[in-house]
Structure 1
Amino acid sequence: MTLPRRFLPSIASLRALEALDRLGSATAAAAELSQTQSAVSRQLKTLEDQLGVGLVVRQGRGIYLTPEAADYADKIRGALQQIAQASLKLTTDPAGGSLSLAILPTFGMRWLVPRLAEFARLYPEVTINLSTRLKPFNFVTEPFDAAIHFGKHDWLGTEALRLRTERVVAVATPEFLAAHAPIERAADLMRLPLLQIETRPGAWPAWFEAQGVTGAKVSGTIYDQFSTITQAALHGLGVALLPDYLAEQDLATGRFRSAWGDKTLISGAYYLVWPVQNARDPALCKFRDWLAGQAEDEDLLPR
Structure 2
Amino acid sequence: MTWQPTVQVIELAVNPTFSTHWLIPNLREFNKLNPDIIINIHSLANIGDFLNREYDAAIMREDFCSPWSEREYLFEEEILPICSGSLLSQPQQKLAVDELLNEFTLLHQSTRINGWQEWFALSGISSPQVNNGPRFDLLSMLIAAVRSNPGRGAIAPVCHSARSG
Q: Same fold (TM over 0.5)?
A: yes
Contact in 1 for aligned 2:14/2:58 (Cα 8 Å): yes
Measured after TM superposition, the shift of residue 242 of structure 1 is 2.1
Q: 2:97 aligns with which of 147, 163, 186?
A: 186
Shift of 1:213: 1.3
| Alpha-carbon separation, structure 2, partners of 1:147 and 1:184 | 37
- Report the Cα offset of residue 115 of structure 1: 1.2
- Counterpart CA distance in 1 for 2:39 and 2:95 is 48
Q: CA RMSD in A?
A: 2.4
- Partner residue of 1:167? 78
2:146 aligned with 1:230: no
- 2: distance between equivalents of 1:184 and 1:131? 38
Identity %: 26
Q: 1:154 to 1:140 in 2, by over 3 A?
A: closer
Q: Which sections of structure 2, spanning at least 5 residues, go unmatched?
A: none
Q: Note the residue ranges of structure 1 that are not aligned, 5 or more in a row.
A: 1-85, 246-264, 266-295, 297-303
Counterparts of residues 199-278 of structure 1 (less than 5 Å): 199-218=111-130, 219-237=132-150, 238-244=154-160
> Does 1 or 2 have the higher relative contact order (CA < 8 Å, sep 6+)?
2
Correspondence 1:76-91 to 2 at 5 A: 89-90=2-3
Give the structure-2-normalised TM-score.
0.82
Distance 1:139 1:236, change over 3 A: closer
Aligned pairs for 1:1-16 (under 5 A) are none
The amino acid that maps onto 2:135 is: I
In structure 2, do the counterparts of structure 1 residues 209 and 244 end up closer, same or farther at CA, with 3 Å as the change threshold? Answer: same
Count how many residue pairs are aligned between Structure 1 and Structure 2.
155
- CA gap of 1:153–1:106, structure 2 versus 1, over 3 A, is closer
Judged with a 3 Å threshold, the aligned counterparts in structure 2 of structure 1 residues 132 and 228 are, in CA distance, closer, same or farther, namely same
Distance 1:204 1:147, change over 3 A: same
